[in-house]
Amino acid sequence: MIQLKSKENVTKNKVLLVVLDGVGSIDRGKEQGNAVNAAKLPVLNSLWKGEPTIQILAHGKAVGMPSDEDMGNSEVGHNVLGCGRIYDQGAKLVANSIDDRSLFEGEIWKKLISNSILNNSTLHFLGLFSDGNVHAHIDHLKKMIEIAGSEGIRKIRIHILLDGRDVPEKSALEYLEPFESFLDNLKNNGMDIAIASGGGRMTITMDRYEADWSMVERGWKTHVLGEGKKFPSAKSAIESFRKEDPQVIDQYLPAFVIEKSGKPIGTIEDKDSVIFFNFRGDRAIEISRAFTEEDFQYFDRIRFPKTEFAGMMQYDGDLLVPPQYLVTPPAIQRTMSEYLVNHKIPQYAISETQKFGHVTYFWNGNKSGYFDKELETYVEIKSDVIPFDQKPEMKAKEITDELIQAINEDKHDFYRVNYANGDMVGHTGNMPATIKAMEVLDECIGRLKDKCAEKGIVLLITADHGNADEMYQLDNNGSPVLDSKGNVSPKTSHTLNPVNFCLVDSKKRYGLDVNLNLIGKGSEKAEQPGLANIAGIVLDLLGFEPPEDYHPSLLIRKS
């Protein structure tokens, strides 16, 4: 058992880490579309201005993504927060496995290809249809199709989940039209290939944390059973839905099924092979369970085809969901929670359903369950199943009530909490609602600040990535992009902006050192502070030396 080294002759503190999900940081003066700066935040603005605060990286290479043009997300952000190091993450792992062909040389890929060839059955691809590189990438899909064709697959059906969340909100046709040309070339070479079904990612299939199984049921009926509104092509479906409701954005488009001669062209049948090509786990687990569990009970599948199903990755390594997968996820060992459990440090984690897995599963290195249930308390506040801009406060107040009660009980040394509002409301593209969400968060932080001062707890406030900081699509000059009617085009995706990291110690004992000579230590080099430094700071405050391969603490002791 690897142990931490205790610091000698230092104060051992209790620590509360607050993650304001999706709350990035842009300098004052850049107000257009910035719900963080536009909101009235007397508490947060006072802390960011008056307490030790630095901007840290939460995207790109700083969280294991392929390049600094790649947005961060909650999953990789919480992986890094929880382990103090940087691991190659989903997008990069998949890209590498395609480039070195290990994906195609793997046992599961060969099994699915052989299954379809031997049974003269269909190979299906299902997943998010964009290049957002947060859940999936269209280039991965295209390469797998090309390789499958070269290995003898003659019939392929594709089930597309429209994005408009990690990419511009009405960009579906920008991906669809070139892709249809790509398919036409394959058809000309004798392949029977077509898009068979689809719909918006927040309408069908991609639910997470069991918040709304009806989404998965609608996806099942669409992709597997071929039930739903039928169209001759995906393009005609998208255009028809937009004509019916000009305000609808891609992520909320209804489900559709492609037909020929009155029949769906791509139902999923016994002996077919199915690849769910999303690499990110949270919104892939439930549909994977529907395809693989014999005793599935969350909705009536009507028909349960016996397929060879594989995920791009294994989305839950402890629950083995799905059993078959193409690319091995990062094996994250020696997380901060595991170290603290080994030292008998009691920990408390809380969030609402939408982000509960982030302060538990992702925080603990993609591991379900507890390291030691006697030392860890996990609290989930059930999320409402409604559009988040209809109730932008979400469950922030309830979370704060529960957390303050836990602090009063004084049973834990390290507390962590995720507030989902900045991300989940930010994803709706609704600027006024996101401003309201930020103002609710400010009230909650005020309550936590006072409680931490009362109890002598060091309060750390940060975020896992940006979102609410850019609610409008901006041009190269920083001006909002307008649609054909002169309206501002909302931005629903994450951002490339840094996030604030703020240290609040009522006794004024600590500061933060951003000396770049410190940043290059650890398992991965970095030129600026990032999320990977926070685990070291937490351990430092708790009285431990961070492990040598963790990114270093930036804590300065003033007294």
The residues assigned a catalytic role are: 74
Q: Is the peptide bond before 529 cis (omega within 30 degrees of 0)?
A: no
Bin 487: left if φ > 0, else alpha if -120 < ψ < 50, else beta. Answer: beta
Residue type, 318: D
Whole-number Cα distances in Å, 90 to 58, 65, 97, 357: 16, 8, 11, 17
Q: At what angle do helices 396-409 and 431-455 cross, to 10 degrees?
A: 10
What stretch of H or E contains 166? Answer: none
Q: Is the peptide bond before 322 cis (omega within 30 degrees of 0)?
A: yes
- H-state helical runs in 154-284: 172-188, 213-223, 234-244
Q: Could you give the CA distance from residue 78 to residue 6 in angstroms, rounded to a whole number? A: 25
Contact 346/356 with Cβ under 8 angstroms? Answer: no
Contact 466/499 with Cβ under 8 angstroms? Answer: yes
Tokens of residue 28, six digits: 């004052």
Least Cα distance to 305 among 358, 266, 342, 249 occurs for 266
Q: Could you give the CA distance from residue 183 to residue 294 in angstroms, rounded to a whole number? A: 34
Least Cα distance to 414 among 323, 540, 315, 231 occurs for 540
Residue appearing with tokens 């402890």: 318
* Environment class of 160 (CB within 10 Å of its CB; exposed 0-12, middle 13-18, buried 19+): buried
Tokens of residue 333, six digits: 């060992």
Q: Could you give the CA distance from residue 529 to residue 553 in angstroms, rounded to a whole number? A: 10
Q: Could you give the CA distance from residue 328 to residue 60 in angstroms, rounded to a whole number? A: 21
Residue type, 304: F
